[in-house]
Each structure stands twice: as C-alpha cells, then as structure tokens.
A and B are shown apart, each in its own frame.
Chain A
Amino acid sequence: MSVGSFDFVPVILWTDALIFALLGVVLALVWFIRRHPHLRAPWRSVARRPMTVGAALVLVVFVFIGLLDSLHYREKLSDSLPGHPQYSVEVLSAFDALVGRLRTQQEKTYSAPLALRLYAKEFIERDGMTVRDYPRLKYGGAHLKKTDAHASDIAWRIFAGLGQGLAASLLLFGLLAAWQARRHDTAFGDWLAAWRTGHLGWPGRTLVLVLGLMLMLGAAMAHLAADYHVFGTDKVGQDVLYISLKSIRTGLVIGTLTTLVTLPLAILLGIAAGYFRGWVDDVIQYVYTVLNSIPGVLLIASAVLIVQVAIEAHPQVFDTAAARADIRLLALCLIMGVTSWTGLARLLRGESLKLRTLDYVEAARAFGVSHVRIISRHIFPNVFHLVLIAVVLDFSGLVLAEAVLSYVGVGVDPTMYSWGNMINGARLELAREPVVWWQLGAAFVFMFTLVLAANLFADGVRDAFDPRLEARR
C-alpha cells in the first residue's frame, strides 16, 4: 500500500505519546548510564551473559514491532473532494502499512492454519450442482489451481524462507566478522576461531545464533504468510497471525506504561517512609496496607467501568473507535499502576531505613545538607538498582495480568487486539465441535515467547546488579 505525502493525517493517541515519551526517557537514561562507570559496569556484565543477550534480542524484535504499531495515522478517503480532504475513521499504523495484505485479506469465518478451505460447510455451486461442502478460501492458497499441490507448495515456501534467512544471516555474519577483525587488527581466520571457541569477551556465538534463527524463522513466515493464513483465521475471518502481532503493542503498553505510574508513587512514598520515619512512615504504611487489603480486581473493574461511562457520556471527545479503546487501555494502565506500587514501595522503604543510618548519610547531615539533597544524592542512587530490577521483573507479570483481566472482562476494550481478548474468545471456540484451537495456540506462543524472554532478561539483570554476586566476579 503506497501512501502519498498528503494522503494521510497522523494520529497521536494518548498511549502513543506516552510510549514515545518513555522511549525518550530510556534513551536519555542510556546516555546517562554510559557516562557513569559505576552504572555502566553492571550493564557490561549483563552484556556478557549469553542467555540474557539472546533474550534481549528477542525483546528488541517485540519492541520494534510495538513501536511500529504505535505510529498511527488516518488515510484520506479516495472519494473526498480536493481542498476538502476527508479522512477515514479507521486508524491505521505504520505496522499495518508494512504488513499490507495481511490485514485486508479477510475470509468469511474460521479456517485452520495453512488451510485451503473454510472450517465451516456452505452451499456452493460445483459443476452446476449445489452441494454442501467446505468452500475454498478467498485468499488462503488461492494461487493454487489444484489442491494436491498444497503440501509441496508449503514445503517449498518453508525451504525457500529458511534458505533466504540463512543466506541473509551468513551475509550479516560475514560483515560482522570483517568489521570486528579490522577493528581489532586480527586476521579474519583468527577472529573466526575466537568466535567459535567463545573467547570474544562478549557472547558472539549466542548473538549470531539467535539472530540467524530469527531471520530464518521470519523469512519462512513471510513466505508462508504471503499466500496463506499461517495461524488460521478467527470467527470473522481475520488473520490470527495479524491479530497476534497487533497484540504485541497492547502487551508492551500494559507492561511499560503501568510502571510509569508505579515508579513515582513507589519511589517517592517508599523512600519518604523509610527516610523520614515517624508519622510520615505511619501514614504511608497505613495507605498501602489499606490498598493492599482491597482485592485488586475489584478496584480495576470499578475503574474500568467508570472510564467506560465517561467515554459514553462524552462521545465528542473521542472521535474514533481507536481513541475510545486507547483511553480505556490507558485507564487500565493507570489503575493497575495504582494498585501495584505497594510491593516496590515496601522494598524501598526497607532499604531506605537501612541506608539512612549509614555513615555517609550521617556525614551529609553533619554538613547540614538538606533532606531533598540527601535523598536525591545519597538514598536514590543507592536504591536505583532495586527499582530497575523491580521494573524488569514486573513487566512479565503485567503482560500476564492483562490476559487474565481481559479474560474476566474488565481488561482492554473488546474491540482491541490483545492476547487477553484472544484467550477470552477461545473460551467459546474450545467448546465448539470440531474444536478451534489455533487462536488460543497463537496467543499462547506469542505470550510465552515475550514473557520467557522478559524473565530471562530480568534474571540476567538481577544477577548483574546483585552486590552479593559482584564480589565473585
């Protein structure tokens, strides 16, 4: 799909703005960390762990898709008058533009992965007679004239995809090797030998291996997806692969934006409680004990319902369905943040209680340094590793929580693509005869990959920041 320079108008949803703000903060943080050796050191040790680097690579792919999916726009209607452009109510993203036909190739209803025919019988005309049978799909495998070429076509596409992926990764690897060999002034062969034996000082083997695998898998998928529905289609005939890929953004938004709410609350209140003690501590502890004793689902359900009512009362503010779904997603992030800051706050309170008695804080007090300065220069930098570990660990928990909440019905908007909604839909599909399993399966595969990668990454980060392990390094 090609769009001219004036054929669309950019749409910035609330979550888009926040995601890119977050991206900016992360980049600024990276820049800041690079300039401070004591902050950089643990990250270097993160980069030396093969498992962590592999997981990070997978995460990067997910994040990249999520970011592409956050560049929203509305297309100009083809029949709008020149000078009076009118734009479609449908909000698309850069990702939609990239995958092109995957979005538009909609079947009538369910079809199995890589199938040629629909999953439901219909009356079709064949040789002049009306029979009840499984009709051919409109797009899936439509290029095949004869159905007996089906298996060989799929095999050929997989083979071609793997081959292309392999070629691409070999090319990349060659470039990497040449660059590295030149940079370190070693012979090409020597560098290869060092790479093979794992004596590079960074996990080169893992990096190349994971990258190669992902390229091969991606290429094979691309070849298949061009003319088939790789994960089948759902009830309304939408490609499940497309739905799953679109759900990545929802998962990432929930996992990251929620921490944006959590962090200021947890850091401010946690450190304040631990540092000031006395009545400040009492009040903050009281607040989070009360908050903790209310079931989280209850709060979340009521907050989501309130937002729902608010949206319906002010339809003029939210001009598109996407904007309505988006504000509900944001509300979900907010309320999940409000209910989940207590754990980190408690941790930070304990750490601050310990830190405030340390001699360097006493020394600062002996100089009459103000509380704000003591907290920002002495307490916060020394609890920062805890914050980081908590953020990375919480991420996977939040992605899973979204799925559970959507399943219960208080999660994201039902029209929004999310793994939770896919699983919710699968409830009825599994009760169907014959059973429709691919939607649940696809959601499971994607969620499993993301959460596993996030957990492995978190594990590496936690190990690198653990001062008890530091001594042994």
Chain B
Amino acid sequence: MKPLLRVDTLITKIGAARVVDGVSFRVEAGETYALLGESGCGKSITALSLMRLLPDGGRIVSGAVRLGDTDVLALPEREMRRVRGGRMAMVFQEPMLALNPVIRVGDQIGEALSLHQGLAGAAAREAARALLDSVGVPDAARRLDTYPFELSGGLRQRMMIAMALAGEPELLIADEPTTALDVTIQAQVLGVLRDLRATRRMGMLLITHDLGVVAENADRVGVMYAGELLEEGARDAFFTAPQHPYSRMLFEALPRTGDGGRLATIAGQVPRLDAPLPGCRFAPRCPFAIARCREESPGWRELGGMRVRCHRAGELPTDSVRERIAHSATAHVPQTLLQVEGLKMYFPIRRGVIPRTVGYVRAVDGVDLAVQAGRTLALVGESGCGKTTVGKALLRLIEPTAGTIMLGGETVAAKRMPALRRQAQMVFQDPFSSLNPRMRVADILLEGMEALGVDTRGKRRGAVARLLSQVGLPDDAGDRYPHAFSGGQRQRIAIARALAVSPRLVICDEPTSALDVSVQAQILNLLKDLQDDLGLAYLFITHNLAVVEYLAHEVAVMYLGRIVEQGPAGAVLHTPRHPYTQALVGALPRIEPHAGRRIIRLAGDQPSPLNPPAGCHFHPRCPHASAICRQTYPQQTDLGGGHWVRCHWVAEQGKDFPG
C-alpha cells in the first residue's frame, strides 16, 4: 500500500545551519506518527518544510516530500496553497497566537470552509457547527459567535483543530498541540484528536517533546536529535526497549513513581548545526561512545522491530543507567518552618467612570499550609487556581488581603521584612525572564546580599564563587552575562541567586516547566542535593504531577483558590480521594502501559474565580456531585496519617464504611 506521506532525505537549512538533515519517514492513512525530540532538534522545522512555510532565511535544500501521488516540493505556489489546509492541515502550539483576536471564531472557520469547500452563508455556518460538534465543543451554535478571548485555552485549541479540519485534510500536522494546556484539558484535546483520526482515517503527524503524550497517542515513533532521525519504530517496541542511547537516556531522565534515586542526565549540549558534524551527532554526549562513533556517521540498522542509527545498537547494557542511591532516610524531626493560616488574596474589580469596587477576584480564598524544615511541600493545581499567587503573597511581593504567615515561629509583619527575606526566597518559572540581561552573573548573585546587608564586601566575592560551585557552574561564569548560558544553566543561576542570602525556605514556582526533560532532570537532581546538603525546605509550586512524585514529601492540591486535598505525597498521588485529584492523576500521560487505572475525564474548564460556583467549587465538573455539593462548601474530612480532603462525597463514603 502506498503511504499517505513519504518524506525522503529532507534537508532544510536556515542560514548556514542544517536544521533538518536527511530526515526520511512515512505516515500511513489513519496512523499517528510521532516526531519526538527536545527543543531545537528540528522537529517543528520538519513540519514547516512539509507545508513549505519556512521562516525567513530557511530553504529546502534537497529531498522529496510526496503526499499521496503529489510531489509537494515541485508544486507551484498556487497549487501549494490548495494543498495547505486542503490536503495537509496544521495545528499550532499556542492557540491564542494562531487565532485572530478581532474576528469571531465562526467567521474564521467559515473562511477556511469557503476556501476549501466553497461553502458560504447558512451552509458554511451549518458546516462550521458540525465541525465544532465533531471536536466536542459544547453549545456549538452559540460558540460560533464568540471571539477568541472569550474562550478558554482548551476551547481555543479545539477551534484550531476544527479550522484545520475544514478542508477535510488527509494529513493533520499537530505541532505540540497540548503543550500550552493543563493536564485535564490536554487529556480532552488528545482524546478529540484520537477520535478524529479514527473516524476520518486521517494520517496524523504529532510533534511533541512529551514521552507520555507519545505513549498514549502514537502508532509509530521517530526520535529526532540535532536535525537527524536517530531511531524509528512501532510504539510498543519503542517503549518496551528503546535502542538508541539518546532515547534511553530520555526515559531515564523522566521522574517516575516510587523512585527516590537520582535522575539520569545527559551531559553537554546539542552541537551547533552550522559546523560540519562528522560521526554520530550524539557521540559527544553519549556515555557509550567509542572512537568509531566520532568518525563515522552510523547508518540505519534493523533491531528488535526498530530502526536505529547507532554503531553500538544491540550491544548496550539492558539495565538502567540510573544510579540507585538510597534515599536519605534520616530520622525526620518535624519542625514547622512555615505556617500559613487563612491566607486570602482578593483582587478588587473596579468599574465605572469614578472607579468603584464592584467585586473581587478571589485568587486565594482561605489557604492553610505548613512546611516542615528540610522538607518539600508541593502545591499542585491547574493554571489559574491561584498557586503562584500563594507563593508571591508568602513573600509579600503582593500584600495579602487577610491571613497570618508565621516563619520559624514568628509572625511576619511589614516591620520585619528583611528578616523574612533572608529566610525565604523564590525561584521563578522562566529562566529567560528571571535574569536581567544587562547584568553580569556575579552582580545578579550579589544583589540580594547587598540589599540585605549579608556579609562584608570582601566576603561577598568569596560567596559568589561558593554559590557558583554549589549549583555546578564554572568559576568564570560570574563575569559573563546571562545570554551566554543555556536555559538549564540560567535556572542554576536563578537558584544560586535565591541561595545567596542562605534562606531556609525556597519557593520554587514551576522551576522546570520551561525546560527540556533532560535539563529538568539536572535541575531536579540539583534541588534534591541542595536540600540534603543545606537542609532547605521547598514550597514547590507546579502543575506537573510527575515532578511532584519525585521531589515532594507532602502534597497540597489546589482548586480555584482553595486547597481541596492535602497529605503525604505517596497517599495523595497513589490513593487520591478527591475527584479532582483523581482526575489530575488520571489525566497525566504515562509511559507505562495503564492497566486497571481508573481514568476520570473531566468535562469543561475551571470556572472563573470572579464568581466561583456556590457550594463546592468543583461540583459543575464533578462526576459524583449531589444536591449538598451545590449548596455548602465541604468541611475537612480527615483520612488519617495527615491526609485530609474537602469533599462531601468522600465524607459520605467514610460514614457508610467506617474504617
């Protein structure tokens, strides 16, 4: 049978760099082919080459792309326009940027419909409504008249998919379609894509960096590194026994359940693509590399149902390269470092000519937290639930509306701010915006010490050198500017900055969500080492449950400004009791085959904190909601062992089956 899409030794250059270098693969009709790789490996440029939508300075040097019987690269631009959207359609990563904010979504879908199917007027509207139905948009007819800003991220991405489907394409290219979305929404969107592929027998090229997404959606997998495909094969074979060292290390770098050991990291960086690269591109970072790897580029080999480009494929050790270190199970003496009670953060909404407060956004609505010295509390929740606001309110970067914050047994008041700031610091999400590009690294590290008057001037210089070595950066890093460092190194600088004033508590606000898997592993290892060495306590704010499992001792799950479940990490993540926690855990794409895992797919989105639903905030999305859930907010139900939950349904169960 002829494949739907066939790519042959495609080479694309941007400037002098060979960003895609000899990539060949094929996609059958009705099949999902996943291109897996870390950022900068050329997977998006591969997709754009197929669509012939390369950025400025990019050009396809050689190779062939055949869609059915059509040679895509030979088509004149006129014909190509018909292919784009008509036979091949693309869904982009960021739905807010891909939709025009000033045109109603119905009109945007209608535009695609009139272009590719010649529909107009009522027929187009009907077709658009049908499309929205097919991507699972509730209340489709009304949504056609909304503007993109009125829709949530998940709905926007569905609109994008609907628009891509308007031309009834044979091939759908999805470029990181769910990376910008929350896990529960990601699960919804991936479900839509799976159904569509099955019903329409489309071929799908799924581009992602997430092994979990690949495991749950792809039929076949291709791993890209530095512009080349390294390994290719069926999903099951790939996930049972990946053959290339790079693929293996990606697996080892993933934090996994019940694993206290260190994560494997990949040393070094992706090579520059504008220089000639003899030999295997991964050789400089590969622990198994031999002399031949550096001289001769490996060809394709068939191995265990996989195709792989590695000289040493098949002779690699089969067991894990992950170091097993006994978890530092030193007797933990509970000593509360941070105690938060009744923290509230209301943002007033002002309206009118003479601004009057007409209501409040209840970003944080009565949160109680306790962090033990030297332990990690993870604050988990989807975007918009108020978890970052909690972090900022704790450091008084924004003044909380109500609540008491006790640090080391003392109430934090405005008068004692310097004391607070020496004890608690913050690490931010995006290492590119958290470092001032105009300051040298040493000045960045010194800033906190100078502002808080730590040490004398002479000692501070020494402290900078100590901090740099503590976070594993070279000594000369202090004289350079942030732009000279990669994302992972920048995050190390940000951690060093927080450590500069020797705090006892570090608030980490999604410190790894902007990083690649292998770099994330380095940062998580570093955080864990620092905790062991310095006895730091972490408040770890994240939406990534996999990271939580690896790092946290305790977990608090937040929904719409309130904590709905809290307890020891193992208990919360393995026997979640609140339906929301269950859904979060279930929605997490996993690489292990999921046998007997009960999956709750949440419908809808998180409501606005401007007017949260009456009663339990979660009831509109809850599969177990009953009358009482709609009326009163549930009280804490203690489940023993420090594990508690706020849910009427759990409380009912507890009554029925005591013990």
Residue pair A38, B481 in contact (C-beta under 8 Å): yes
Residue pair A363, B438 in contact (C-beta under 8 Å): no
Residue pair A38, B438 in contact (C-beta under 8 Å): yes
Residue pair A368, B447 in contact (C-beta under 8 Å): no
Proximity bits, B411-444, A CB within 8 Å = 1, else 0: 0000001100100011011100111111100000
Residue pair B425, A360 in contact (C-beta under 8 Å): no
Chain A positions within 8 Å of B437 at CB level: 38, 382
Chain A positions within 8 Å of B498 at CB level: 363
A359's partner among B434, B439, B501 (CB-CB below 8 A) is B434
Residue pair A360, B435 in contact (C-beta under 8 Å): yes
Proximity bits, A185-213, B CB within 8 Å = 1, else 0: 00000000000000000000000000000
Q: Main SS of the interface on chain A?
A: helix
Residue pair B434, A367 in contact (C-beta under 8 Å): no
Proximity bits, B20-33, A CB within 8 Å = 1, else 0: 00000000000000
Q: Decide if A365 is an interface residue (CB 8 Å cutoff).
A: yes
Residue pair B436, A362 in contact (C-beta under 8 Å): no
Q: Decide if A369 is an interface residue (CB 8 Å cutoff).
A: yes
Measured between alpha carbons, how far is A358 from B494 in the docked complex, in Å? 14
Q: Decide if B334 is an interface residue (CB 8 Å cutoff).
A: no
Chain A residue with minimal CB distance to B425? A366
Interface residues of A in 349-368 (CB under 8 A from B): 358-360, 362-368
Chain B residue with minimal CB distance to A370? B451
Residue pair A363, B497 in contact (C-beta under 8 Å): yes
B596 to chain A, nearest CB (A): 42
Measured between alpha carbons, how far is A364 from B421 in the docked complex, in Å? 11
Given the known interface contacts A38-B438, A377-B439, A382-B438, the answer about A362 and B451 at a Cβ–Cβ threshold of 8 Å is no
Given the known interface contacts A362-B392, A367-B421, A368-B421, the answer about A378 and B481 at a Cβ–Cβ threshold of 8 Å is no
Chain B residue with minimal CB distance to A360? B436
Measured between alpha carbons, how far is A360 from B417 in the docked complex, in Å? 19
Residue pair A362, B417 in contact (C-beta under 8 Å): no
Chain A residue with minimal CB distance to B395? A366
Proximity bits, A366-381, B CB within 8 Å = 1, else 0: 1111100100011001
Total interface residues on B, CB under 8 Å, equals 30
Chain B residue with minimal CB distance to A364? B447
Residue pair B483, A38 in contact (C-beta under 8 Å): yes
Residue pair B56, A472 in contact (C-beta under 8 Å): yes
Q: Decide if B258 is an interface residue (CB 8 Å cutoff).
A: no
Q: Decide if A37 is an interface residue (CB 8 Å cutoff).
A: yes
Measured between alpha carbons, how far is A363 from B483 in the docked complex, in Å? 18
Q: Decide if B452 is an interface residue (CB 8 Å cutoff).
A: yes
Chain B residue with minimal CB distance to A382? B438
Proximity bits, B485-508, A CB within 8 Å = 1, else 0: 000000000100110010000000
Chain A positions within 8 Å of B452 at CB level: 367-368
Residue pair A367, B397 in contact (C-beta under 8 Å): no
Q: Decide if B448 is an interface residue (CB 8 Å cutoff).
A: yes
Residue pair A367, B438 in contact (C-beta under 8 Å): no
Residue pair B448, A362 in contact (C-beta under 8 Å): no
Residue pair A377, B436 in contact (C-beta under 8 Å): yes
Interface residues of B in 509-558 (CB under 8 A from A): none
Interface residues of B in 444-501 (CB under 8 A from A): 447-448, 451-452, 481, 483, 494, 497-498, 501
Total interface residues on A, CB under 8 Å, equals 20
B427 to chain A, nearest CB (A): 9
Measured between alpha carbons, how far is A366 from B499 in the docked complex, in Å? 12
Q: Decide if B317 is an interface residue (CB 8 Å cutoff).
A: no
Chain A positions within 8 Å of B268 at CB level: none
Given the known interface contacts A366-B421, A367-B421, A368-B421, the answer about A359 and B428 at a Cβ–Cβ threshold of 8 Å is yes
Pick from B392, B434, B501 the residue with the most CB of A within 10 Å. B434
Pick from A38, A370, A382, A472 the residue with the most CB of B within 10 Å. A38
Measured between alpha carbons, how far is A318 from B221 in the docked complex, in Å? 86
Interface residues of B in 383-431 (CB under 8 A from A): 392, 395, 397, 417-418, 421, 425-426, 428-430
Q: Decide if B276 is an interface residue (CB 8 Å cutoff).
A: no
A403 to chain B, nearest CB (A): 38
Measured between alpha carbons, how far is A373 from B439 in the docked complex, in Å? 13
Chain A positions within 8 Å of B426 at CB level: 362-363, 366
B421 to chain A, nearest CB (A): 5
Measured between alpha carbons, how far is A37 from B438 in the docked complex, in Å? 10
Q: Decide if B57 is an interface residue (CB 8 Å cutoff).
A: yes
Pick from B421, B428, B447, B497 the residue with the most CB of A within 10 Å. B447
Residue pair A367, B451 in contact (C-beta under 8 Å): yes
Measured between alpha carbons, how far is A367 from B452 in the docked complex, in Å? 7
Pick from A37, A359, A362, A472 the residue with the most CB of B within 10 Å. A359
Chain B positions within 8 Å of A382 at CB level: 436-438
Measured between alpha carbons, how far is A44 from B434 in the docked complex, in Å? 27
Chain A positions within 8 Å of B481 at CB level: 37-38
Chain B residue with minimal CB distance to A363? B434
Given the known interface contacts A38-B438, A359-B429, A377-B436, the answer about A369 and B447 at a Cβ–Cβ threshold of 8 Å is yes
Pick from B417, B429, B439, B498 the residue with the most CB of A within 10 Å. B439
Measured between alpha carbons, how far is A38 from B481 in the docked complex, in Å? 8
Measured between alpha carbons, how far is A472 from B448 in the docked complex, in Å? 35
B447's partner among A358, A367, A381 (CB-CB below 8 A) is A367
Chain B positions within 8 Å of A364 at CB level: 447, 451
A276 to chain B, nearest CB (A): 15
Residue pair B451, A360 in contact (C-beta under 8 Å): no
Chain B positions within 8 Å of A378 at CB level: 436, 439
Measured between alpha carbons, how far is A110 from B479 in the docked complex, in Å? 66
Chain B positions within 8 Å of A367 at CB level: 421, 425, 447-448, 451-452, 501
Residue pair A360, B56 in contact (C-beta under 8 Å): no
Measured between alpha carbons, how far is A185 from B452 in the docked complex, in Å? 53
A266 to chain B, nearest CB (A): 20
Chain B residue with minimal CB distance to A473? B15
Measured between alpha carbons, how far is A362 from B429 in the docked complex, in Å? 12
Given the known interface contacts A366-B425, A368-B417, A368-B418, the answer about A358 and B433 at a Cβ–Cβ threshold of 8 Å is yes
Proximity bits, B173-205, A CB within 8 Å = 1, else 0: 000000000000000000000000000000000
B238 to chain A, nearest CB (A): 34
Chain A positions within 8 Å of B397 at CB level: 362, 365-366
B354 to chain A, nearest CB (A): 13
Measured between alpha carbons, how far is A360 from B497 in the docked complex, in Å? 11
Proximity bits, A85-103, B CB within 8 Å = 1, else 0: 0000000000000000000
Chain B residue with minimal CB distance to A379? B436
Chain A residue with minimal CB distance to B432? A359
Measured between alpha carbons, how far is A38 from B451 in the docked complex, in Å? 25
A422 to chain B, nearest CB (A): 45
Chain A residue with minimal CB distance to B444? A360
Proximity bits, A6-39, B CB within 8 Å = 1, else 0: 0000000000000000000000000000000110
B580 to chain A, nearest CB (A): 29
Chain B positions within 8 Å of A369 at CB level: 447-448, 451
Measured between alpha carbons, how far is A367 from B425 in the docked complex, in Å? 8
B335 to chain A, nearest CB (A): 24
Measured between alpha carbons, how far is A472 from B430 in the docked complex, in Å? 22
Measured between alpha carbons, how far is A370 from B56 in the docked complex, in Å? 43
Residue pair A360, B433 in contact (C-beta under 8 Å): yes
Chain A positions within 8 Å of B439 at CB level: 377-378, 381
Chain B positions within 8 Å of A472 at CB level: 56-57
Measured between alpha carbons, how far is A377 from B451 in the docked complex, in Å? 13
Residue pair B433, A373 in contact (C-beta under 8 Å): no
Q: Give 3 nearest A-B pairs by CB, closest first.
A: A359-B434, A381-B438, A367-B448
A interface residue numbers (CB < 8 A to B) = 37-38, 358-360, 362-370, 373, 377-378, 381-382, 472
- A–B complex contacts, Cβ < 8 Å, 16 sampled: A38-B438, A38-B481, A38-B483, A358-B433, A359-B429, A360-B433, A360-B434, A362-B392, A363-B434, A366-B395, A367-B451, A368-B417, A368-B418, A368-B452, A373-B451, A382-B436
